[in-house]
Structure 1
Amino acid sequence: MRYWSLHFQHQRSLFIEQKMCSSPLIRKVIIIGAGGHLGPHLVSAFDTDPHFQVSILSRASSDCSRFPSHIPSYCVGENYDTSESELVELLRGQDAIISAIAAQAVQQQKTIINAALKAGVKYFVPSEFGHDTRNEQLAQLLPPFLVTQKRQIVEYLQSKEVEGLKWTAFVTGPFFEIAVPHFLGFDFRSRHATILDGHENHHWSTTTLSTTALAVKNALLEPIKATNTYLFIESFNVSQNGILSALGRLTGRWDESYQNAEEEKRRALEELSQGNFSGLPTLMRYVTCVEGCGGDYMNYEASANGLLSLPEERLESALQKLLE
């Protein structure tokens, strides 16, 4: 009996080992868009993990001096979509590409994807971070570069699965450190909150920059768990009232005013139709805080926080950092 028990354990170990070997081994990672909001956090997450060798790919106009000097940095032409042959040579030998490319340039990722295939890259993480771009109501409200074009990049990656390129797209909600003080209605200087009337208690997801970067890194440590799929993560599932209450506990009384959500949306869309993007922050608040626009994706998707071993975070601690 003991023999068969040991034999079974040995066969099981072999099966697990073979299964893990069938997953692409990712060690060499190159980050595109390292100078943006998320980029430095991605660089730090991968650089501090000895499993990975990280490098950076940027446009010629970027200030490479701000990147850590010990990390290899490569420059390409001003637009990624005009330099495919150059990209192929720069990407050769890389296992994975992490794209944090700016939203206005998301379509240039098609050229990068094509170059990645020719260079033999195994894995691609698109610059999908943000709202659930599959949401049709969201796509009707926000400019194409924030929704439709991002979704099209994922669809393009799906079409390349047959050629051996694997991918993972991360839905994070708005980045916490950017969204709260800039478009979710909280003026830290005047301690005034602009609340969408009737939606003040509706919950939605938001993720910190550091947790987003950790999620990407952990996914690539065990890509067999995260291949060819969307992963939904969050640091906090909160409402405008929830944030306001936490700020009150930290700083004392805040003033608040209430705005009609539909009227705010109407004005913002009118401004956008005239080519005026000043209404975009207002529209971002609407699609985040109003039910049905994809900000509440944890109501219909499974959280990947556990799968990716993400830490539990305290809302008040994160807000305190913003206040400082």
Structure 2
Amino acid sequence: MNRDSRILRRSLGAVAGGLLALVLVGCGSGATKGGGDATAAGQADPGAFPVTVETQFGSATIPKAPQRVVALGWSDQDAALALGVKPVAIVKTEDSFKNGVGPWAEQALGDARPQVLDTTDGYPIEKIAALRPDLILAVQSGMTSADYDKLSKIAPTVGYLKGRTTYGTPWQEQTELIGKALGRGKEATQAIAAVDQSLAQDAAKYPQLKGKSFVYAYPQPSNGRMVLYTDARTKVLEQVGLTLDPVVSSAPKLNSFSNALSMEHLGSLTSQALLVWYGTPENQQQLESNPVFKGLPAVTSGAYLPVNRTLAQASSAPSVLSIPWSADQILPALAKSLH
């Protein structure tokens, strides 16, 4: 199930070579089979432990380099993998993901096989405890105070920072927090810099994107509206020069990560580029057959990009591994139609 589908339900009722070479430095070939010890390539930064990480619900003190990491955030495993640590368990995001990770993380995962936890009905506390973790990551998560109380009794638990919303941690901060918890702050800084450099190179490669307006949306026919995103996925696109269309900010606020536009006002989506991900093929067919939708500027100019579930997952929870992969899927297609 895509992250957005689950959050909305609760709220409303191969990686670029340069980066991969950096984040996989020193990765070993050891596997994590059936919940075995995490493979931790390389070494922690000198003097990194013990370390205390202060987050929204309390502090987590990690006495030494963790060997059995459980990643409960939606892309926390990406950050850990990028820093050379292979978790013993991760959360289920998409049924189609082989070994539980997106295609952008498969090389970093290697032959490790973490247990994939279904958190649809909450965190499976007994299963997590049975894994005997020495660190639980829940940075890009919907963890509550009650969840934290249970999880922190099992192992030091690193959630999101005070003041952040659920699933609302910027990818840079996520990487920094996880890097600190793993004792790999230097590698985290390098990984963030590599992604920033990659996006800067994309901006230079596709100058036609600069200043062009865009909307990233999700149709909800049953509710008669379009969800217009304002979260991390739009921030990444802004980093390469695109500009979020004013229609998004003027639409009524839906939740912490999106606004909503009534289908009656579909014609107001006059942005130069339009990205839409769909929960079902039927939703896509219904929207694309709408005469108003067909006449939108982005659609008539060819700057409309239907986003599949894999790409939607990658962009909705961007990470140091998924961002370059997503950029390769999105930017060339948009640049081709934007002049």
Name the TM-score class by shorter chain: 0.3 to 0.5
Alignment TM-score, normalising by the size of structure 1: 0.36
- Bigger RCO of structures 1 and 2 (CA < 8 A, at least 6 apart): 2
| Bigger radius of gyration | 1
